[in-house]
Amino acid sequence: MSRTPQPHSTAALERAMNAALSAALRGPRGANPLVGASVLAADGTLVTGHHAGAGTPHAEVEAVRAAHAAGIDLTTATMCVTLEPCTHHGRTGPCAQLLLEAGVPEVVIARKDPNPGAAGGIAVLESAGVRVRTGLLEDRATALNDRWLSAVEQSRPFVTLKLAQSLDGRIAAADGTSQWITSPASRERVHRLRALADGVVVGTGTALADDPRLTARIAARAGTDGSPHDSTGLHSRTGGNTEEDTPASQPVPVVVGLRAPAPNSHLARNPRTVHLRTRDPLAALQDLHARGLEHVLVEGGAGLAGALVRADLVDSLEVHLAPVLLGEGRPALAGLGVSTLAEAVRWLPDPAADWDTAPPAAATDTVLRLVPAARDRGSSTPDHAPHTGTAPPGPGVAAPEAVPAASAPAASAAPHSPRKD
Ligand SMILES: NC(=O)c1ccc[n+]([C@@H]2O[C@H](COP(=O)([O-])OP(=O)(O)OC[C@H]3O[C@@H](n4cnc5c(N)ncnc54)[C@H](OP(=O)(O)O)[C@@H]3O)[C@@H](O)[C@H]2O)c1
């Protein structure tokens, strides 16, 4: 087996890494980082792959598949990947080993994996004689997953906050009624969001006011095998008609606050309910992380949601905006601590693709998917190379820079955030 990489210019490698970064944005945010990969063939042909979420093949696997489909000789090709190939035997097998078996002679890595459980790919590749270069477009690869990395560093789950509100920002009317402000299509989407999370979290106010189940109830849809429609290939936790699901397949219901849920409430009767008697949002999240939850969906209400936003603990925000005006009523967020415009908590459209590509049924509501604007993140991605399939060899980006021979230090990370793969 040949292990002779075709030499490529830095500009060509940057083009390939840009394509990998763009491919990464096609994945969903959650327990796993966004990861993309590309294969740069000896003749400049470029194909890409991305990780489509927990339980699905890693980006390297998809890129290798795309390379095979395009007839690329991997033994003379260069693999560019936005995150160090893993070495662990999760649900998808170690990617470093896959690259060795495929005979890839050169791997260019944007940034090291901060997760000790997944890192080590560089050493595995190098010890087998693969040429490894790290640090190419590292800043962009870091920005792509900065909130995921923050969660790892803080030993907490990745947090998605869902707000279902009126046009004037209310989650309940003046008399407390809140069911339903948003449309059935929005509520179905929430059930699909729940199905992708490890836990669904509310404050005690919501638990007491609404008596929610916090289960993922997804109507079986187009799947021919009886499985829920899932055009993304993401593995939902429900796996079927959900009212009859085994409890273990459901996200963990979580209540945060000092008061207990009502004795006969759904949450009190569910033996899997976790009640965290605290008002410290980070402590609550770290407790959940210690229980193995890596991605939680927070569904309010105003008190808990406001506390999480104020503490900068919301990594992804999904707002369902119903064309309804409620005037007086409960605002979506309480206790934000914003007293002047300069203190406003700002958000940006999430550059990552929407995980739910199902056509909106009777979508009267507007769905906003946002990420915190506090730091620059991958949103300025200029490159929109094709996801899979071949991309024509191009001139590459301007102003090529040297590819560092050695990697920059990886961000510090807490030692317990195994990726859910
Ligand atoms: N439209 C929607 O999608 C939606 C979603 C959820 C809720 N709602 C509505 O919102 C209303 C409930 O609002 P809410 O604000 O009372 O709900 P909440 O945020 O669920 O509950 C507030 C309670 O959470 C506890 N808590 C835990 N950590 C906290 C923290 N760091 N800061 C503040 N409180 C913390 C406190 O309870 P303790 O005193 O027990 O500590 C607090 O009283 C209901 O009318 C419900 O129907 C609507």
What does each of the 421 residues of the chain score in pLDDT, given as a tens digit?
Answer: 456 777 889 999 999 999 999 999 999 999 999 999 999 999 999 999 999 887 788 999 999 999 999 999 999 999 999 999 988 766 556 888 899 999 999 999 999 987 766 668 899 999 999 999 999 999 999 999 999 999 999 999 999 999 999 999 999 999 999 999 999 989 999 999 999 999 999 999 999 999 999 999 875 333 333 333 333 334 444 444 444 456 778 999 999 999 999 999 999 999 999 999 999 999 999 999 999 999 999 998 999 999 999 999 999 999 999 999 999 999 999 999 999 999 999 999 999 988 787 666 556 899 999 999 964 444 443 333 333 333 333 322 222 222 332 233 333 333 334 445 5
Ligand 1 nearest atom to the CA of residue 334, by list position:
15
In angstroms, the CA 193 to CA 187 distance is 10
pLDDT for res 376: 43
* Cα 304 to averaged position of ligand 1 atoms, centre (Å): 5
Whose Cα sits closest to atom 10 in ligand 1?
301
Whose Cα sits closest to atom 30 in ligand 1?
279
For 177-314, strand residue ranges (E) read: 199-203, 252-256, 274-276, 295-298
Q: Is 14 a catalytic residue?
A: no
In angstroms, the CA 129 to CA 125 distance is 7
* Cα 281 to averaged position of ligand 1 atoms, centre (Å): 12
Query: Which residues, 6+ apart, have CB-to-CB distance to 297 below 8 Å?
Result: 160, 161, 162, 193, 194, 196, 197, 199, 200, 201, 251
Whose Cα sits closest to atom 47 in ligand 1?
178
In angstroms, the CA 219 to CA 191 distance is 9
pLDDT for res 122: 92
pLDDT for res 258: 98
Ligand 1 nearest atom to the CA of residue 302, by list position:
15
Whose Cα sits closest to atom 13 in ligand 1?
301
* Cα 305 to averaged position of ligand 1 atoms, centre (Å): 8
Query: Which residues, 6+ apart, have CB-to-CB distance to 401 below 8 Å?
Result: 10, 14
Q: Which of 28, 6, 108 is nearest to 60 (CA)?
A: 108
Out of 60, 62, 294, 318, pick the active-site residue: 60
Whose Cα sits closest to atom 8 in ligand 1?
301
What are 239's two structure tokens?
């796996």
* Cα 236 to averaged position of ligand 1 atoms, centre (Å): 27
Helix, strand, coil percentages for the chain (3-state, nearest 5): 25, 15, 55
- With the most atoms of ligand 1 within 8 angstroms of its CB, the residue from 161, 288, 304 to mutate is 304
Any idea what the Cα angle at residue 138 is, between residues 115 and 289, rounded to 5°? 25
Residues framing ligand 1 (Cβ under 6 A): 164, 171-172, 176, 178, 181, 202-206, 209-210, 256-259, 279, 281, 299-304, 307, 330, 334
In angstroms, the CA 313 to CA 305 distance is 10
pLDDT for res 53: 84
- With the most atoms of ligand 1 within 8 angstroms of its CB, the residue from 200, 204, 208, 286 to mutate is 204
Ligand 1 nearest atom to the CA of residue 162, by list position:
3
* Cα 334 to averaged position of ligand 1 atoms, centre (Å): 9
* Cα 241 to averaged position of ligand 1 atoms, centre (Å): 30
Residue type, 248: A
* Cα 24 to averaged position of ligand 1 atoms, centre (Å): 35
pLDDT for res 164: 95
Ligand 1 nearest atom to the CA of residue 165, by list position:
1
Residues 366, 360: contact at Cβ < 8 Å?
Answer: no
What are 46's two structure tokens?
């470029």
Q: Which of 210, 209, 205, 311 is nearest to 258 (CA)?
A: 205
Ligand 1 nearest atom to the CA of residue 203, by list position:
20
Ligand 1 nearest atom to the CA of residue 280, by list position:
31
pLDDT for res 322: 96
Whose Cα sits closest to atom 28 in ligand 1?
279
Q: Radius of gyration over alpha carbons of the chain, in Å?
A: 22
